[in-house]
Amino acid sequence: MPRFDHHVFVCTNERAAEDPKGSCARKGSGALQQHLKERCHQLGLKGRVRINNAGCLDACALGPSVVVYGAADPPEGVWYTLRTIEEVDRVIDQHLVGGRVVEELRQPRPA
Ligand code: FES
């Protein structure tokens, strides 16, 4: 039995501004993760949803990268690009609470 309904990893890796790979932290992932944690706490999801920061998830060009793992999710997880607070809220409401993947925010599968 899984420990959490959903386990969410947010890439907060930061590279130098001049690094051509870019990084999720430079695209605002820290603030998005903070909002994710606070809103999940407000919704009483503590203990059911776990939010962790992560190092580089090797999807830098598609970031800010977030991956959600859950018992009802595909084994490889559900990978999202979340750029705004509104997009984070959509994932919380629809996926973490409602159990439905937000297809429009999914990252494309790597080739
Ligand atoms: S820096 Fe976030 S996926 Fe690589």
CA–centroid distance, 2 to ligand 1, in Å, is 26
Q: Is residue 111 part of a domain?
A: no
Ligand 1 pocket member 10 (CB < 6 A): no
Residue 47 lies in domain: 6-105
Structure tokens at 81: 């690009």
Ligand 1 pocket member 63 (CB < 6 A): yes
Secondary structure of residue 7 in the 3-state scheme: strand
- Residue 13 and residue 61: Cα distance in Å, rounded? 13
Q: pLDDT tier at 110 (50, 70, 90 boundaries)?
A: low
**Closest CA relative to residue 55, chosen from 93, 95, 87, 10:** 10
**Closest CA relative to residue 69, chosen from 87, 46, 51, 93:** 51
Q: Is residue 100 part of a domain?
A: yes
Q: Is residue 69 part of a domain?
A: yes
Q: pLDDT tier at 68 (50, 70, 90 boundaries)?
A: very high
Ligand 1 pocket member 57 (CB < 6 A): yes
- Supply the CATH number for residue 77's domain: 3.40.30.10
**Predicted structure pTM score:** 0.94
Q: Is residue 1 part of a domain?
A: no
Structure tokens at 57: 């998830």
Q: How many domains is the chain partitioned into structurally?
A: 1
- Residue 26 and residue 32: Cα distance in Å, rounded? 12
Q: pLDDT tier at 111 (50, 70, 90 boundaries)?
A: low
> How far does Cα 45 stand from its chain's mean position?
15
Q: Is residue 84 part of a domain?
A: yes
Per-residue pLDDT of 71-104, as tens digits, reads 888 899 999 999 999 999 999 999 999 999 999 9
The mean pLDDT of 28-43, rounded to a whole number, is 98
Using the atom order of ligand 1, give the atom closest to the CA of residue 14.
Answer: 1
